Amino acid sequence: MAHPHKSEQPQAYESDTAQLSDRLAFVDKFPSAARITRLSMGVSFTALTIGALLGIVQALHRTNVFRGVISSADYYSVLTGHGVLLALFFTIFFLTGIFTWGTSRSLGRELPSPRFSLVWFLLMLSGAVMTATAIFGGLVGQIPFSADVLYTFYAPLQAHPLFYAGLAAWLVGTWLAGADWIRAYYHWRQDNPGERIPLQMFMILTTMLMWYIATLGVAVEVVFFLLPLSLGLIESVDPLLTRTLFWFFGHPVVYFWLMPAYFAWYTVLPKLSGGRLFSDPLARVVFILFLILSTPVGFHHQYADPGVPEGFKFIAMTNTMFLLLPSFLTAFTVVASMEYGARQRGGTGYLGWLKALPWGNPAFAGCALAGIMFAAGGFSGIINAGMNINSLIHNTLWVPGHFHLTVGTASALTMMAISYWLYPQITGKRLQFYGIAQVQPYVWFIGMGLMSNAMHRAGLAGVPRRTAEPQYQQFDFMPVLGSMLEMRLQIAIGGSLLTLGAVMFVLVMAGTWLAERGRGRLRVDSHLPEPISGPSDSPRVLDNVRLWFVIAVVLVVIAYGFPIYSMVADGALNPAAPPFPV
Amino acid sequence: MHVHRFERLWLVAALAMIVLFIGTVTYGAVGAGYGMVDDTGGQVDPTDATASENFREPGVYNGSEPGHYDVYIEAKQFLFVPGTSDPVRVPANSTVTFHVTSTDVVHGFEVVGTNINTMAVPGQVATVTVEFDEPDEYGLVCNEYCGSGHHTMAGSLHVVPAAQFNQTEVN
Ligand code: HEM
Ligand SMILES: [Cu+2]
Ligand SMILES: [Cu+2]
């Protein structure tokens, strides 16, 4: 080794004068972590491709623009596929990919056991395949499977057991993945006692601890109630209890979608802008806030549920509003780091620096456009969170309008953009079809601008989400802004552009995957510059992840202890609702 | 720990906004008296809602005082009873409490263009109280996926001039 003392130096960040070895592609330094990252991303992008094709079918069907592909009854199989493949599999396989990379990169070592990594990956994959088989079986008459329960699978709607078994296997896979990264961290800690946790590793640790708490709800729901129900082992379930367990998980999963994007915005975007991160300590504070506040808020998805006392909705509302804080702080840091980068690149002026940013670099442009859309999504989210205004838009098209800005753009577009930067490093191949990649983020941005604004306005007019038909016989929708026809057209055109954007992305990735190594130098390297304000400026208690975990658990017990107790007290299966297979 | 001056300002502004949001919602609940759907409707047997004392035969009933009405609505795949085959009829200038439950899967109960919007969960009764001042016609729609015919589940609500409302319409 050329640098025998490397492990004694602070490893949180490579020094600014990066060594030659840092310029080597990630795949050459850590071939086994690179392989798991590639495999995870491969599954993620496959899910994205299928999900996006289903997306255009929905957008055209429910607006009555083109209905030649499916019947209205089959719309719900398609919608289940779209929700599960995109919200669960695309996002979370991407997460396991980027977190494997981040663990290995920030600790400067391989994961402890390549075989164990492969085990969790294969478990997740087989679970995902089982669940997808159950869903798409519903579209094929001869196959006895069906699972038209949407990605929220509210009981007593009942899917084929394969759907739940697959979800459970996939979930256990994510737990093992977390264990893998935590184990790598412990090994690093033994070799580096007393050092600050590298920022990327810190983000991975807090995100995974949040995930362990949050998934408990859905694991109990699936393993103790829904799977036994679908197997006929129990005859009924309490629909309110299972909903509550679902949303115990259902809100924090939102942060599981967002954290990979935040991870990229904090650690990679500053470099892409030509500068460095503003503040490492504040990044840590933000992730701690997410760990603590993400779970005790699930009741904000049940504002309209009977059987839940108002007080608990109020507590969830307050926590939800405080959960805005880490996102406000992120907005600041992201913009400040970009401005710093722009000024480093020679940008000047009050807003003139914006022009100095590398808008032609697809990795940068995607992240920046995703950030802008996220700000818009944040505003519509504040309406959702307002306990009483929420009833104006609850379960209307406003809601998918909102989350296509958040998960569908802030997360999804960032994931695509970061892939333009990351994928060459984990394959050693130069990004192909660069011109397509450069246009792609703008196509997504325009498509989402059209689809999402129209969905929001249609929601205000009362148009429900999750329906196959644009109009009802008994009444007409009265739009406040614009006309119903214009909104439908925008949804159809926007949805088509989005699917085009997804196809462009997948073309670039597939082209790069199939390209030979060595066709041109990589345009990217994995060196990440040090933040302006580093971790040594911050109190050590920030790194006491155990303490934050305990606080998070206590808050969850306060928010959920009593309501769940009161739902279970009259018998966990009461009120007893029998299943309805769909 | 060094926090940049601008960042500190931003933090304070963000916190102030958050407190403002919470304040507005609290005002809505306490000051303006906007009542949330909660557990006051009580529980019923999901397979036989009318057997419990929390729920009556679906229909319109006289309320506890003059000008008040109780409307019991059963949501089931893919109908509102009443609402789908016959419109729900209530007089103008009245206070109406809807009691909504489901006897199969989870449904939604949305009065289109208003903030009357609740889930219909088997085993639970949702109650929503509203005032209707003017005669009007509203659509009812199920806004939670409830099975392959979900997009057909709708109905209507007619707020009729008091003179046209007949006591024989009341159960
Ligand atoms: C590729 C372009 C996309 C198009 C054209 C599209 C279109 C749509 C449409 C029209 C709906 C509303 C369906 C309804 O309520 O009736 C919908 C729902 C949804 N979309 Fe997308 N979408 C796209 C991408 C995404 C992405 C990238 C994500 C997440 C990463 C996503 C997640 C969802 C989810 C979770 C739902 C709700 C499903 C449900 O209500 O059960 N979509 N999409
Ligand atoms: Cu939420
Ligand atoms: Cu429905």
Cis peptide before B82 (omega within 30 of 0): yes
CB contact set of A50 (below 8 Å; sequence gap of 6+):
A81, A85
Cβ separation A279–B115 shorter than 8 A: no
Distance A127 CA to ligand 3 centre (A): 29
**Max intra-chain CA distance, chain B:** 75
Pocket test for ligand 1, best of A62, A80, A82, A395 (most atoms within 8 A of CB): A82
Of B1, B4, B21, the CB nearest to A382: B21
Is the C-beta atom of A52 inside 6 A of ligand 1? yes
pLDDT digits (tens, 9 = 90+) for A406-424: 999 999 999 999 999 999 9
Nearest C-alpha neighbor of A260 from the set A529, A40, A52? A40
Distance A298 CA to ligand 2 centre (A): 6
Instruction: Indicate which of B39, B48, B104, B111 best probes the interface with A, i.e. most A CBs within 10 Å of its own CB.
Output: B39
Distance CA A459, CA A441 (A): 26
Is the C-beta atom of A59 inside 6 A of ligand 1? yes
Q: What is the mean pLDDT of chain A?
A: 92
Contact A159, A136 (CB under 8 A): no
Judged by CB atoms within 8 Å, which residues 485-544 of A form the interface with B?
533, 537-539
Distance CA A318, CA A559 (A): 11
Closest-CA residue, ligand 1 atom 21, reads A55
- Is the pLDDT score of A548 beyond 50? yes
CB contact set of A489 (below 8 Å; sequence gap of 6+):
A63, A65
Instruction: pLDDT band for A15, please (50, 70, 90 cuts).
Output: very low
Distance CA A433, CA B26 (A): 54
Distance CA A577, CA B122 (A): 7
Q: Which of A153, A225, A255, A256 is catalytic?
A: A255
* Nearest chain B residue (CA) to A307: B39
Is the C-beta atom of A258 inside 6 A of ligand 1? no
Provide ipTM, 2 decimals. Answer: 0.95
Distance CA A272, CA A268 (A): 6
β-partners of residue A577 are: A237
The highest-level CATH class for domain B49-169 is mainly beta
Q: Could you tell me the CA-to-CA distances from A308 to A158, A182, A249, A562, B96 in Å, in that order?
A: 23, 37, 17, 11, 22
Nearest C-alpha neighbor of A206 from the set A271, A252, A268? A252
Dihedral sign from CA coordinates of A343, A347, A348, A351? negative
The whole-number pLDDT of residue A522 equals 75
Q: What is the mean pLDDT of residues A517-523?
A: 71
Q: How many CB pairs under 8 A join A and B?
A: 230
Count Cβ neighbours within 10 Å for each residue of A282-303 and write b for 16 or more, e otherwise.
bbbbbbbbbbbbbbbbbbbbbb
Percent of chain A with pLDDT over 70: 96
The whole-number pLDDT of residue A520 equals 64
CB contact set of A201 (below 8 Å; sequence gap of 6+):
A102, A103, A106, A107, A181, A185, A188
Model-level pTM? 0.94
Q: Greater confidence, B168 or A358?
A: A358
Contact A111, A181 (CB under 8 A): yes
Cβ separation B106–A388 shorter than 8 A: no
The whole-number pLDDT of residue A458 equals 96
Dihedral sign from CA coordinates of A433, A439, A441, A447? negative
Nearest C-alpha neighbor of A383 from the set A399, A397, A367, A372? A399
Percent of chain A with pLDDT over 90: 83
Q: One-letter amino acid identity for A309?
A: P
- Is the pLDDT score of A426 beyond 70? yes
Clarify whether A255 is annotated catalytic. yes
Is the C-beta atom of A416 inside 6 A of ligand 1? no
Q: What is the mean pLDDT of residues A320-328?
A: 92
Domain ranges (residues) in chain B: 1-34, 49-169
Q: Greater confidence, A342 or A387?
A: A342
